[in-house]
Chain A
């Protein structure tokens, strides 16, 4: 019993899960039952995959001990370049593949500059945030180009599956969550990510290819951000050049609320998803409760601090439950 309690209290995502349950119940009451209505759930689930995918990539990178502030800009540049390529006669799939390759290249560059010159990824990716955003705006000429909707296989991205509750993007998202969780908890690569972020000297001295691990995480983070932005543009059907601005901060908040440690080594994919979902729930719940939407950022901020304080309190409590080790 004591052991089970300790194990649960030590789960880094526990605070996030508890907050999610409390807030969902609160908004359900405040909105007189609109919150869990079919239409509303459909709306929330439509948005979740976009922020969620960015948060998962970000969380895995954070667990391996690095940081990527450029996700918001990468989120915009991939759909922008796809839209422009479509307008210039490139067929959809080649355009899509080039978009993914471009994101991978940005992630590679982030990793290369950070690791080759041994500077904090905070700085590298802050620079990349500005550069990629600027490129996106220059490419578009400052105005959103038309998206050639007829060339995009919408059913594969944002179409509702069978006209029902879930969009195709949600199915992809579920697959991503399952895959990423399995990688983190069941494969040796996941073990290497945790070890690299947890204590890089030990990881290196045990022969883990820490450089390769970091490169992979940087590239995965960028690719997921680009894909998420592409899905959002296909849903909105307009590639705004300023899409995803300050998204990096939401991704950090989501990951941290979900129990990912800023210092690396600790966190789970499930926690990151819970964090992303919490942010969506607050955004939506505030609107439904007829609270001024400008309180959204206040709520996210307060929640981030609260979740981290709560998490460290839970962990300390767990430590205090002394078992014979």
Chain B
């Protein structure tokens, strides 16, 4: 059996007296979509922040494909192939789709010390393709993100993660503030990811969404994992009871 894509051992994190993560052990298997659920303050956001490099853990180990890693910044998480799509969107509204797709990872034609001239043609062409790949149809890569619907924006964020070949995609409440139809669309994007061999971690308040799009569900409460089962072997009622 291959090493889990992400393996967490003994992870602790305190926030000024609050024990946000209390000894988390978790193995995430490649290609198995996992749902992370829990009430507000259960620690799921903290866990995600640690994995995406936004927060540093106080103690514990993280291995990616068997290798011990230190995730010190969002950039180092991305280099390890861990990408995150946030609740309040990880796109800049006043910038075009093409520019958003390549934020922080712009293809450069010439550069000095990491700053240089962007290859805008490549950005436009590749973003058009990347967006089509997740089955999102936008007329032009020059469209401002502000003009897209909430669902389309999450689609662009997911397309970005796919383009950069991330292995693990963390979706932090991706369907908050979306209409029913838009939600269905985003859940559709998430399903499409499994086919492309991307491991997804879906954080959601909505247990129903987790049940339709994940194979395994992990529930957290008070900084600990309180339930970890295959979706087929549990029920919404059981989860509500533990969280």
Contact B115 A186 (CB under 8 A): no
Contact A323 B90 (CB under 8 A): no
Contact A208 B103 (CB under 8 A): yes
Contact A206 B90 (CB under 8 A): yes
A29 to chain B, nearest CB (A): 38
Contacts of A204 in B (CB 8 A): 74
Bound complex: CA of A33 vs CA of B2, how far in Å?
Answer: 83
Q: List 20 A-B contacts (CB under 8 A).
A: A186-B117, A186-B120, A187-B118, A188-B118, A191-B95, A191-B118, A194-B95, A194-B99, A195-B92, A198-B94, A201-B90, A202-B90, A203-B104, A205-B86, A206-B103, A207-B74, A207-B78, A324-B139, A325-B148, A325-B152
The reply to whether the CB of A199 lies closer than 8 angstroms to some CB of chain B is: yes
Contact A203 B74 (CB under 8 A): no
Contacts of B106 in A (CB 8 A): 188, 191
Contact B92 A325 (CB under 8 A): no
Bound complex: CA of A203 vs CA of B72, how far in Å?
Answer: 16
Contact A205 B54 (CB under 8 A): yes
Bound complex: CA of A186 vs CA of B118, how far in Å?
Answer: 6
Minimum CB distance partner of B144 in chain A: A10
Bound complex: CA of A203 vs CA of B95, how far in Å?
Answer: 12
Contact B139 A199 (CB under 8 A): no
Q: A205-B52, A205-B74 are in contact. Are A194 and B94 (CB under 8 A)?
A: yes
Contacts of B92 in A (CB 8 A): 194-195, 198-199, 202-203, 265
Contact B147 A266 (CB under 8 A): no
The reply to whether the CB of B14 lies closer than 8 angstroms to some CB of chain A is: no
The reply to whether the CB of B22 lies closer than 8 angstroms to some CB of chain A is: no
The reply to whether the CB of B45 lies closer than 8 angstroms to some CB of chain A is: no
Contact B103 A191 (CB under 8 A): yes
Report which of B104, B111, B117, B139 forms a contact with A207, defined as CB distance below 8 A. B104
Report which of A198, A208, A324 forms a contact with B93, defined as CB distance below 8 A. A198
Contact B95 A198 (CB under 8 A): yes
Bound complex: CA of A324 vs CA of B152, how far in Å?
Answer: 13
The reply to whether the CB of A189 lies closer than 8 angstroms to some CB of chain B is: yes
Q: A188-B108, A207-B78, A325-B139 are in contact. Are A202 and B89 (CB under 8 A)?
A: yes
Q: A199-B92, A203-B103, A207-B74 are in contact. Are A323 and B139 (CB under 8 A)?
A: yes
Report which of A187, A191, A194, A325 forms a contact with B147, defined as CB distance below 8 A. A325
Bound complex: CA of A187 vs CA of B239, how far in Å?
Answer: 49
Bound complex: CA of A189 vs CA of B114, how far in Å?
Answer: 9
Minimum CB distance partner of B53 in chain A: A207
Bound complex: CA of A266 vs CA of B144, how far in Å?
Answer: 12
Interface of A is mostly: helix
Contact with B along A197-226 (1 / 0, CB 8 A): 011011111111000000000000000000
The reply to whether the CB of B63 lies closer than 8 angstroms to some CB of chain A is: no
A10, A189, A199, A204: which has the most chain B beta carbons within 10 Å?
A199
Bound complex: CA of A97 vs CA of B144, how far in Å?
Answer: 42
Q: A319-B147, A325-B138 are in contact. Are A192 and B104 (CB under 8 A)?
A: yes
Q: A204-B74, A207-B75, A319-B147 are in contact. Are A199 and B117 (CB under 8 A)?
A: no
Contact with B along A168-181 (1 / 0, CB 8 A): 00000000000000
B192 to chain A, nearest CB (A): 21
Contacts of A208 in B (CB 8 A): 103-104
The reply to whether the CB of B84 lies closer than 8 angstroms to some CB of chain A is: yes
Bound complex: CA of A325 vs CA of B141, how far in Å?
Answer: 9
Contacts of B183 in A (CB 8 A): none
Contacts of B91 in A (CB 8 A): 199, 202
A125 to chain B, nearest CB (A): 24
Give chain A interface residues in 246-285, CB to chain B under 8 Å: 265-266
Contacts of A198 in B (CB 8 A): 92-95
Minimum CB distance partner of A266 in chain B: B94
A243 to chain B, nearest CB (A): 34
Report which of B93, B95, B115 forms a contact with A187, defined as CB distance below 8 A. B115
The reply to whether the CB of B143 lies closer than 8 angstroms to some CB of chain A is: yes
Minimum CB distance partner of B115 in chain A: A189
Contacts of B115 in A (CB 8 A): 187-189
Minimum CB distance partner of A267 in chain B: B94
Contact A195 B95 (CB under 8 A): yes
Contacts of B73 in A (CB 8 A): 207
Contacts of A203 in B (CB 8 A): 92, 103-104
Give chain B interface residues in 75-122, CB to chain A under 8 Å: 75, 78, 84, 86, 88-95, 99, 102-106, 108, 111, 115-118, 120
Contact with B along A124-140 (1 / 0, CB 8 A): 00000000000000000
Contacts of B93 in A (CB 8 A): 198-199, 265
